[in-house]
Amino acid sequence: MVDVSDLVEFQRHLDGAHHIAITSHRSPDADAVGTSLALARYLRSTGKEVTCLLPDAPDEALDWMTGVNDIVLFDRDPGQAQEALHRADVLFALDYNGMGRLGPMKDAAESATGTWLMVDHHMGPEDFPTARVHDARCSSTAELLWGVIAGLGGKEAVDATTAGLLYAGMMTDTGSFRFNSVSAETHRVVAAMMDQGLNHTAVHEAIFGEQPMDRMKLHAFAVVERMEVYPEFQTAFVHLTAEDMERFHYRPGYTEGLVNKALGVSGVKVAVFAKQSSDRVKMSFRSVGQFSVRDFAEKHFDGGGHHNAAGGASKESIGVVMARLRGLLPEIAAGITAAEEADA
Ligand code: 5GP
Ligand code: MN
């Protein structure tokens, strides 16, 4: 939920601002991109000049999002990105709360001189923003951002397009409204957006409706050839090498959802997906129940996120990472048992 005193601060900083930069995290997902574009639409409706910036490109699965092609990508256009960051009177940090999540854009963001405002739902926010709307219990940044826009008096400026952008973030971060993090407020926000003309079916179709054959084959290959299930440790791993991804003509977004296939195996309580990318191995961690994958990711792989969904990375090779994960199986199993006993 959004605290009114935080909004008073937001309003004060926005009142004096002309140029606004909206930033979100590396490997941006639907919550990151949807909230950036939705906030930009709202702020432009109030007469502000707004630039959206991301460290790197979103998945092609988000190509349908109105305005996505106008986002300045730091890895493609560092000069333009630097200029927008430095010109901004106010900078928004959406869906992340540590500068490290900006990857290659971190240094440029840190040298910006405007006022930082944050809207985020990850645990453990850093203190770089002057004001923030932060709730780690909230299921998505999009849900919080609806509260921000409505609280600033902008509810009527949310048209069907803006509502669709927010709904995309809410739907994906909640696993289509099935995770524990979903609250009555989540559904109240959806209801309010439906009153503003939201077409939820169109958003679901755009994200989950169809997929390239290569992606489907990559998932099938990963499940058949690269999934390791350890029933005695209630854990499953899936990994993809650079060659695997080349074989199926990998495009950004192709591996989205793979970690949930591992988590969906009967008896599995912790799942890890690891893939080789250009300069690192990127991992997704998921759990059901009390085992905190956030703590695990933070301890072993310089990561973070949420209790049941987290991420991390390593500069080691995929082979070394997988060997390290297998070595951690007893620790994971002990962690699951301890968490269950604490819960009992
Ligand atoms: P995903 O596995 O979907 O990429 O990420 C799951 C969650 O963990 C998301 O909330 C995401 O923001 C967070 N996350 C992913 N990668 C990292 C990382 O490297 N560091 C931190 N702190 N959080 C991450
Ligand atoms: Mn999010």
Q: What is the CATH number of the domain that holds 305?
A: 3.10.310.30
298 is in which domain, residue-wise?
213-343
Which ligand approaches the C-alpha of residue 306 most closely? 1
CB-based contact 44:38 (threshold 8 Å): no
The pLDDT of residue 60: 87
The pLDDT of residue 214: 97
CB-based contact 258:283 (threshold 8 Å): no
**Residue 112: CATH number of its domain:** 3.90.1640.10
Among the candidates 208, 241, 258, a domain finishes at: 208
Among the candidates 208, 230, 257, a domain finishes at: 208
The 10s digit of each residue's pLDDT in 107-149 is 999 999 999 999 999 999 999 999 999 999 999 999 999 999 9
227-230 vs 131-134, strand pairing mode: unpaired
Residues 94 and 186 in one domain: yes
Residues 247 and 133 in one domain: no
Residues 161 and 219 in one domain: no
CA–centroid distance, residue 231 to ligand 2 (Å): 30
**Rounded to an integer, what is the distance from CA 322 to the centroid of its chain?**
24
- Say whether pLDDT at 284 is over 80: yes
Which ligand approaches the C-alpha of residue 305 most closely? 1
Residues 74 and 223 in one domain: no
Residues 33 and 86 in one domain: yes
Helix (H) or strand (E) holding 72: strand 72-73
Ligand 1 nearest-atom number relative to CA 285: 2
The pLDDT of residue 93: 98
Q: pLDDT category, 73, cuts 50, 70, 90?
A: very high
Write the residue with the smallest CA distance to atom 20 of ligand 1: 303
Write the residue with the smallest CA distance to atom 8 of ligand 1: 310
Residues 139 and 200 in one domain: yes
* Residue 134 DSSP one-character state: E
Going by C-alpha positions, the residue among 93, 71, 73, 85 that lies closest to residue 114 is 85
**Residue 342: which residues within 8 A CB-CB, separation 6 or more?**
290
Residues having CB closer than 6 A to ligand 1 are: 101, 122, 284, 303-306, 309-313
The pLDDT of residue 252: 85
Write the residue with the smallest CA distance to atom 16 of ligand 1: 311
Q: Is the dihedral of CA 122, 314, 242, 100 positive or negative?
A: positive
* Residue 21 DSSP one-character state: E
The 10s digit of each residue's pLDDT in 215-252 is 999 999 999 999 999 999 999 999 999 999 999 999 98
Ligand 1 nearest-atom number relative to CA 98: 22
Residues 49 and 113 in one domain: yes
Among the candidates 170, 186, 208, a domain finishes at: 208
CA within 13 Å, CB half, 110: 12
For the chain, the domain total comes to: 2
High-pLDDT (> 70) share of the chain, %: 100
Residues 177 and 288 in one domain: no
The 10s digit of each residue's pLDDT in 78-89 is 999 999 999 999
Write the residue with the smallest CA distance to atom 21 of ligand 1: 304
Residues 178 and 248 in one domain: no
Residues 142 and 223 in one domain: no
Nearest-angstrom CA–CA distance, 302 and 320:
16
CA–centroid distance, residue 142 to ligand 2 (Å): 7
Residue 143 token pair: 């849900």
Ligand 1 nearest-atom number relative to CA 303: 20
Residues 189 and 222 in one domain: no
Going by C-alpha positions, the residue among 293, 298, 307, 312 that lies closest to residue 121 is 307
Task: Find the farthest-apart pair of alpha carbons in the chain and give their distance in angstroms, rounded.
Answer: 59
Q: What average pLDDT does range 300-309 have in this prediction?
A: 94
Write the residue with the smallest CA distance to atom 19 of ligand 1: 312
Residues 196 and 266 in one domain: no
Backbone angles phi, psi at 276, to 5 degrees: -80, 125
CA–centroid distance, residue 307 to ligand 2 (Å): 13
Pocket test for ligand 1, best of 122, 181, 314 (most atoms within 8 A of CB): 122
CB-based contact 302:281 (threshold 8 Å): no
